[in-house]
Structure 1
Amino acid sequence: MPELPELTVFADNLSKAVVGKEIVKVDYRGKKSVKVPTEELTRSMVAARIDKVQRVGKQLLVRLSNDATLFIHLMLKGGFVLTKTEELQQLDAVILAVSFADGSALALTDPRGMATVALNPKRGEQPRDGLKVTADYLQAACQRQPNKMIKALLVDQEVIGGIGNAYSDEILWRARISPKSLAGKLPPEAIDALVEAIPAVLNEAVEEIRRRRPDAVSGEVRDFLKVHGPDLKSSPNGARIIKEQIQSKVTYYTEEQKLYR
């Protein structure tokens, strides 16, 4: 599933490709993935221009010139294709196809059909973005759920936006904290290590993805990760990587990481 680093790159590349373009046609095929009638989605989009594309947590926000907003969640395998209108019919697993006045097009695809599109959703208080987590915020979050494993807290999108299974493992390894540590048992120095590791890992990943796939609008680039991956046997320091199911998440960690209980 794309996480904050991939989605940041996707949003930047989509912005370069489609912001300012006028929408002339909308073809919505994901009948189970939108909570409004197809006709309303079309009516809200056609004749509008795309004003902004940005990442919000683990979703992408598309804001239109008529103030309508779309929130797109790619789920496990969703992604985008930048193409021409006449080539849209050649694509498989299209959920949403948007044609522009200049003949270009953007398609949201998902072979599993799970990617979702929400039009003008009601949104309450938003979680702190992964790149804006402070020590005070994280300490308070840990105190509210003291018996929650720290990995589960990091991937909770109601607490921190954007971090998923893969990057939580990388962050915890960088901070040298076991994923099975209890949030309420983390001492101040562990909180500080996490607050330092979170932006460091995420920003480094954004730059690595940009370097390897500068035009990416779909897929995952993970072969540079340090511990999260089925083919990795040891950390950069030589410690054996342990693979374990932790609260429904396939988790990778090493004995370098301290357990706080």
Structure 2
Amino acid sequence: MAELPDLEVFSQILTRRYGGSVLEKLEVIESRKLNVPAKALKACLEGHKLSRVIRSGKTIQLVFGPDRVLGIHLMLRGELVALSSASPRFAILIFHFHSGEGFAVVDMQKQATPTLDPPSADVPDALELSYSAFKKLLSGKKMVIKTLLMDQKKLRGIGNSYGDEILYHAGISPFSIAGKIPEDSVKQLHKSIHSVLESAIKKIAGENGDELRGELRDFMEVHGAKIKNTRKGEEVISDKIGGRTSYYTRSQVLFS
């Protein structure tokens, strides 16, 4: 699943490659997840200039003109692919610009979800949450910290992979009770959120250039079935938290 760093880079690439171009034609191949009829979506966007693409939580938002917004959540298997001579397989939406270029949203599971004019989010983004707000978010919470970090109703953008990486960077066990984490460790966790995500954005951007490549995970410290030991030589352990596989080390402190 594409997470915050991937989506941030995808948004940057889409803006560089297609920003300022007029959408000539929008093909709606799969409309079941749309919040409006396909004809309404086409009428709203076709003939309008893509002004920019931004990331919001786990979605990318394509802004056409001053105020037409199409939000796209790639879900578990969705991808963005630049158009070539061959039609993309498993396409959900295909964007054709006057320049002759374009891209598609593809998903073999057909779960990628486009939303016209998505409502404004009332949950903070992981890279925008202040320390004081983060401290308040954890205060008194009885849920495990890994679950809280991934809860998109509390904090937007962090998924399973980066949840593990952030907690490893902060030295906190994913099984720690959120409200039991002491203040100095809460401060470190808040710093780790920014450090890990911002570092990942730079690495992915450097690797991808202007190409819409898939998710990049080569730099991960603990998250991945093939990672048996960290660069420090620590054994990487896996366990289930909320039905998702989590990776961590024994060096991470458990607060309970």
TM category, shorter: over 0.9
Contact 1:176 1:257 (8 Å CA) reproduced: yes
Q: Which residue of 2 aligns with 1:24?
A: 24
Residue 254 of structure 1 deviates from its aligned partner by: 0.5
Letter of the 2:116 counterpart: L
Give me the whole-angstrom Cα distance separating, in 1, the residues matched to 2:213 and 2:76: 11
Give me the whole-angstrom Cα distance separating, in 2, the residues matched to 1:98 and 1:138: 38
Contact 2:78 2:106 (8 Å CA) reproduced: yes
Letter of the 2:202 counterpart: E
Q: Which residue of 1 aligns with 2:197?
A: 202
Of 155, 168, 171 in structure 2, the residue corresponding to residue 176 of structure 1 is 171
Residue 83 of structure 1 deviates from its aligned partner by: 2.2
Confirm or deny that 1:115 pairs with 2:120: no
Contact 2:48 2:64 (8 Å CA) reproduced: yes
Contact 2:5 2:198 (8 Å CA) reproduced: yes
What percentage of residue pairs aligned between the two structures are identical?
A: 34
Q: Which residue of 1 aligns with 2:133?
A: 137
Q: Which residues of structure 1 form unaligned runs of 5+?
A: none
Residue 211 of structure 1 deviates from its aligned partner by: 2.2
Give me the whole-angstrom Cα distance separating, in 1, the residues matched to 2:118 and 2:163: 28
Contact 1:72 1:116 (8 Å CA) reproduced: yes
Q: Which residue of 2 aligns with 1:222?
A: 217
Residue 218 of structure 1 deviates from its aligned partner by: 4.2
Matched pairs, number: 256
Contact 2:131 2:187 (8 Å CA) reproduced: yes
Cα displacement string for residues 32-76 of structure 1 (whole angstroms, at most 9, x for unaligned residues): 121110000000011111011011111001111152110000111
**Secondary structure at 2:83's aligned position in 1?**
strand
**Secondary structure at 1:48's aligned position in 2?**
coil
Contact 1:97 1:108 (8 Å CA) reproduced: yes
Give me the whole-angstrom Cα distance separating, in 2, the residues matched to 1:135 and 1:16: 32
- Tell me the TM-score normalized by structure 1: 0.94
Contact 1:243 1:252 (8 Å CA) reproduced: yes
Please list, as runs of the form range in 1=range in 2, the aligned pairs for 1:40-189 lying within 5 A after superposition: 40-65=40-65, 67-83=67-83, 87=85, 90-125=87-122, 127-143=123-139, 146-189=141-184
Contact 1:77 1:219 (8 Å CA) reproduced: no
Detail structure 1 runs of 4+ shifted over 6 Å in the superposition: none
Q: Which residues of structure 2 form unaligned runs of 5+?
A: none
Contact 2:165 2:196 (8 Å CA) reproduced: yes
Give me the whole-angstrom Cα distance separating, in 2, the residues matched to 1:72 and 1:39: 18
**Secondary structure at 1:259's aligned position in 2?**
coil
| Between 40-49 and 208-217, the greater mean CA deviation after superposition | 208-217
Give me the whole-angstrom Cα distance separating, in 1, the residues matched to 2:80 and 2:116: 18
RMSD after superposition: 1.4
Letter of the 1:196 counterpart: K
Residue 122 of structure 1 deviates from its aligned partner by: 2.7
